[in-house]
Amino acid sequence: MKRSKTSKQWMREHVNDPFVLRAQKEGYRSRAAYKLLEVNERDHLLKPGAVVVDLGATPGGWSQVAAAKGCKVIALDLLPLQPLRGVDFIQGDFREDDVLAQLGEMLDGRPVGLVISDMAPNISGIGMSDQARAMHLAELALEFAVLHLKPGGAFLVKVFQGAGFESYIRLMRSHFGKVVTRKPKASRDRS
């Protein structure tokens, strides 16, 4: 199948992206690693020994950073994840009860210090639908965080500003004492 003009443009932009090139040079799985590194430098979320649950983990950039900071990482994604030292992985759909049960077994009662979520739906190109599906995943991640975080735990989630963003922020404020938004330098301009 022939690639679309948009697909070719994205690929050209991706392979020339300075954060993609830097990630390849420095051995990170993805450019997303720099987003977490920057947020952590500012907010000190990654604490050695803390249990971190990474939702939407593949290709593993966030898990890789968390493990390198000494966290005990449990990662989950629909897609396979190449093994990473210090990361336990569950392949499955976060929306399914049996996958959540596996995650609960892996946690084995350990308190979760940080939930990170970079989940995103497969993009259809229909903006309103894609935004609604992305917000639904963010809401599920928030629900998981509220249920599993220890007192004083933190939740980091990637969301796109658009329909539902402001109400999501209000919902987060009803559960957390401090809610801030960040746009790391490694985020693309259109994100």
Query: pLDDT tens for residues 80-127?
Result: 999 999 999 999 998 899 999 999 999 999 999 999 998 887 777 787
What distance in Å separates the CA atoms of residue 134 and residue 168, rounded to the nearest whole number? Answer: 12
Supply 85's token pair.
């030292």
When pLDDT is averaged across residues 21-43 and rounded to a whole number, the result is: 86
- Is 150 known to be catalytic? no
Residues 6+ apart with CB under 8 A from 113: 47, 50, 51, 52, 71, 149, 150, 153, 154
Residue 62 has a pLDDT of 95
- The one catalytic residue in 158, 178, 183, 185 is 158
Backbone angles phi, psi at 105, to 5 degrees: -65, -40
Over residues 40-80, the pLDDT tens digits come to 999 999 999 999 999 999 999 999 999 999 999 999 999 99
* Mean pLDDT across the chain: 87
Supply 23's token pair.
């990630």
Helix (H, G, I), strand (E, B) or coil at 85: coil
Residue 41 has a pLDDT of 94
Nearest C-alpha neighbor of 108 from the set 56, 71, 83, 72:
72
What distance in Å separates the CA atoms of residue 191 and residue 185, rounded to the nearest whole number? Answer: 11
Percent over 70 (pLDDT), the chain: 87
Amino acid at 78: L
Look up the pTM and report it.
Answer: 0.87
